[in-house]
Amino acid sequence: MPHLYLHLENHNGLQRDLEGHNYETIDAAISEAGRTAGSVLAEDIAAGRTPVSIRVMIEDADGARIATLQSSTNIDRC
């Protein structure tokens, strides 16, 4: 069971995960990164911040990058 860290980067800068979490698999960590990104994007859109972008970097205990999830969105009002 890998102990992984999900670091978040958005308009607030880089927020490092200092505690990490044990995940059953790397895919489980990627799914959690997706849920985190979706939640933060939704909060930013609700606050009127567009365009918005987010990056969630997944690292192991040695600081090696395992995966990166990146998402952005823009609202074009007509």
Count of structural domains, the chain: 1
Is residue 61, in this structure, part of any structural domain at all? yes
The confidence score (pLDDT) of residue 64 equals 97
R_g (Cα) of the chain, nearest Å? 14
Is 33 inside any structural domain? yes
> Residue 29 sits in which domain range?
3-73
Q: What is the pLDDT of residue 50?
A: 83
CA distances (Å), 26 to each of 9, 14, 40, 41, in order? 20, 22, 21, 22
pTM: 0.88
Q: Which amino acid is at 28?
A: A
Per-residue pLDDT of the chain in tens (78 residues, 90 and over written 9)? 899 999 999 988 999 999 999 999 999 999 999 999 999 999 988 988 888 899 999 999 999 999 999 999 888 888
